[in-house]
Amino acid sequence: MTDVLWMFHRVRMGRFRLDTVHDFARRGYNLRVECRRCQRVMLANAVLLQIELGAARSKWPIERVQACLKCRGCGHRGALVTACRITCRSNFCPTSNT
Ligand SMILES: [Zn+2]
C-alpha cells in the first residue's frame, strides 16, 4: 500500500517540479518526511520550514535538505521527503488532488 502512495506522490512531484522547500511553500504543499531508519513519518509545514532553514537553504535541492533532516524519534539524520497537500490532516494522503 505504501509503495502505491509513494508512486502517487512522486507523480505529483514530477508534475509540479517540487525541487526545493521554496517550491513546496509556493505551491501550497506540506512536506511528508519519513525517517530512513525507523520509518517514522512527520508532516512539516513548508512555509515554517522555509523560515527555519532561511532563504539560502530553502533553495537547496530537496535531496540535500533531506540528508540534513534529523528524526525526532530515533535521532537518525537522513529522511525521505515527498509532497502532501497543505489541507491534508493525515500522514497518508491519497486524496490530495481534491
Ligand atoms: Zn527515525
Higher per-residue confidence, 14 vs 95: 14
Band of the pLDDT at 85, cuts 50, 70, 90? confident
pLDDT in tens, 18-40: 899 999 999 889 999 999 999 99
Per-chain residues with Cβ under 5 A from ion ligand 1: 35, 37-38, 40, 71, 73-74, 76
At 17 the pLDDT is: 78
Residue 47 Cα to ligand 1 midpoint, Å, equals 23
Query: Rounded to 10 degrees, what is the CA torsion of 22, 47, 42, 24?
Result: -30
Q: Are 88 and 5 in contact (CB under 8 A)?
A: no
Residue 34 Cα to ligand 1 midpoint, Å, equals 8
Higher per-residue confidence, 64 vs 10: 64
Higher per-residue confidence, 82 vs 3: 82
Which residues 6+ apart lie within 8 Å of 76 measured at CB?
Answer: 35, 36, 37, 38, 70
Residue 27 Cα to ligand 1 midpoint, Å, equals 27
Q: What is the mean pLDDT of the chain?
A: 80
- This prediction has a pTM of 0.70
Residue 72 Cα to ligand 1 midpoint, Å, equals 7
